[in-house]
Chain A
């Protein structure tokens, strides 16, 4: 019975980003989403003695994160209508496509964060800061050809790790 600290640490490190991304889909505030993820993990930690070995801790985490997110939306009045809140409340966190989306996000983030530093920087500037290759080249003091080479390498790595394609 129960989860030991080492196993819990592994569960935490493997799932913290995806649980945060999952909460963020509801609350739309990364800092608050991180806070909710911490609270979800804390609830699981407090129940660790009661959790049977081999049970699906991930499912439990998302269920708690879902409930915390709904409570957050209600407390902060961050919903367009009562119907919208009710729809979110009724979502089944065990079959939610939001979980799959959050886990895909986490896998992409993990892949990008493990790229060589220059490729990561170039990729984030291009895809997420929406800078042009010329602007990236200027800011980093490298040639446009080098920017393109970093982008090609980064996309190749993503395709291979995420979609299993060369």
Chain B
């Protein structure tokens, strides 16, 4: 067969990489289109969803009365990036929503978050950057960290600078949360701080994952949280196989390629798009 007679006239290879869902999410964020009814919660959030949404909307109503410049950003099927103030970067994970209010009178920039977001906050001595979730208030002055609100818990993971966290339920405050520290606030308001060995939990934003002699079962769970895909491990031997390695800025197919070759196992997608891991 001669293929050359009908080579499709596509002018630029990069046009194939346009993701219209992602572009639509960006457009919605830029246009301030808010569709709260379309928020899709991950399965494990469902139990908490109604409570979180009601509590969130209640606070939203209060914010809008006293602070008119509220802007709502929603990320449904894709994570999106946005800039607030002049250079504070916020990455909003899938199935998440945040409302920003620039409250200049009292020198505060307030964010109300449902779901998960990574913040890279610019240093600004003139104002305080505050993030509220259902469970906590996080106060920052120039730092990078992740806030994840799921299943009643709020988890804050700091990658640079330092933050202060206050529990709504108990008014307990934890100060000087610095790089590598992770704070979990439970539904009863109890807070615990631990040190993390890596930032795999925020790989959805940093696109960097480190595994140190971890099982495939554990690795797949973390990859799924970072990349968002369906998978099934075919057999017990594969589940318990162990791997050490670092993946930096790689797409999921490249990651699977390395795992597949290192452990000598098959990783392939079935007709539904589910990744089948193992023989």
- B partners with A: yes
Could you list which residues of chain A lie within 8 angstroms of chain B, going by C-beta atoms?
5, 9, 12-13, 16-17, 20-21, 24-25, 30, 34, 38, 41-42, 45, 101, 104-105, 108-109, 112-113, 117, 124, 127-129, 151-152, 155, 158-159, 162-163
Q: How far is the CB of B275 from chain A (nearest CB, A)?
A: 11
Contact across chains for A104 and B9 when beta carbons are under 8 A apart: yes
Contact across chains for B269 and A109 when beta carbons are under 8 A apart: no
A-B contact pairs, 27 of them (CB 8 A): A12-B20, A12-B27, A16-B18, A16-B23, A16-B24, A17-B15, A17-B18, A17-B20, A20-B18, A21-B10, A21-B15, A24-B12, A30-B12, A45-B31, A105-B8, A105-B11, A105-B15, A108-B9, A109-B10, A109-B16, A112-B8, A128-B16, A129-B13, A155-B3, A155-B6, A162-B8, A163-B6
Q: How far is the CB of A148 from chain B (nearest CB, A)?
A: 9
Other than the given A24-B15, A38-B27, 13 more pairs (CB < 8 A) read A13-B21, A16-B20, A16-B24, A17-B18, A21-B10, A21-B12, A25-B11, A38-B23, A41-B27, A42-B30, A45-B31, A109-B16, A152-B1
Q: Which residues of B (1-42) have their CB < 8 Å from a CB of A?
A: 1, 3, 6-16, 18, 20-21, 23-24, 26-27, 30-31, 33, 35
Q: How many of chain B's residues touch chain A, expressed as a range?
A: 20 to 34
The chain B residue sitting closest to A15, CB to CB, is B20
Could you list which residues of chain B lie within 8 angstroms of chain A, going by C-beta atoms?
1, 3, 6-16, 18, 20-21, 23-24, 26-27, 30-31, 33, 35, 269
Total of A-B residue pairs, C-beta within 8 Å: 78
Specify which chain B residues have a CB less than 8 angstroms from the CB of A101 in the assembled complex: 9
Residue B35 contacts which of A5, A113, A128, A159 (CB distance < 8 angstroms)?
Answer: A5
List the 3 shortest-distance A-B pairs measured between CB atoms, nearest first: A30-B14, A108-B8, A128-B13
Contact across chains for B10 and A13 when beta carbons are under 8 A apart: no
Contact across chains for B18 and A158 when beta carbons are under 8 A apart: no
Bound: A34/B11 CA distance, A: 14
Contact across chains for A24 and B3 when beta carbons are under 8 A apart: no
Specify which chain B residues have a CB less than 8 angstroms from the CB of A117 in the assembled complex: 269
Specify which chain B residues have a CB less than 8 angstroms from the CB of A42 in the assembled complex: 27, 30-31
Specify which chain A residues have a CB less than 8 angstroms from the CB of B7 in the assembled complex: 127
Contact across chains for A30 and B15 when beta carbons are under 8 A apart: yes
Bound: A45/B27 CA distance, A: 10
Specify which chain A residues have a CB less than 8 angstroms from the CB of B23 in the assembled complex: 12, 16, 34, 38
Bound: A127/B6 CA distance, A: 11
Bound: A151/B13 CA distance, A: 17
Residue A12 contacts which of B6, B8, B14, B24 (CB distance < 8 angstroms)?
Answer: B24
Specify which chain B residues have a CB less than 8 angstroms from the CB of A127 in the assembled complex: 7-8
Residue B10 contacts which of A128, A151, A163 (CB distance < 8 angstroms)?
Answer: A128
Contact across chains for A109 and B35 when beta carbons are under 8 A apart: no
Q: How far is the CB of B259 from chain A (nearest CB, A)?
A: 14
Given contact pairs A13-B24, A128-B10, A155-B6, A20 touches B30 in the complex (Cβ within 8 A): no
Contact across chains for B24 and A9 when beta carbons are under 8 A apart: yes
Contact across chains for A38 and B18 when beta carbons are under 8 A apart: no
Specify which of B7, B27, B30 lies most central, judged by the most chain A CB atoms within 10 Å of its CB.
Answer: B27
Contact across chains for A105 and B10 when beta carbons are under 8 A apart: yes
Residue A38 contacts which of B8, B13, B30 (CB distance < 8 angstroms)?
Answer: B30
The chain A residue sitting closest to B273, CB to CB, is A117
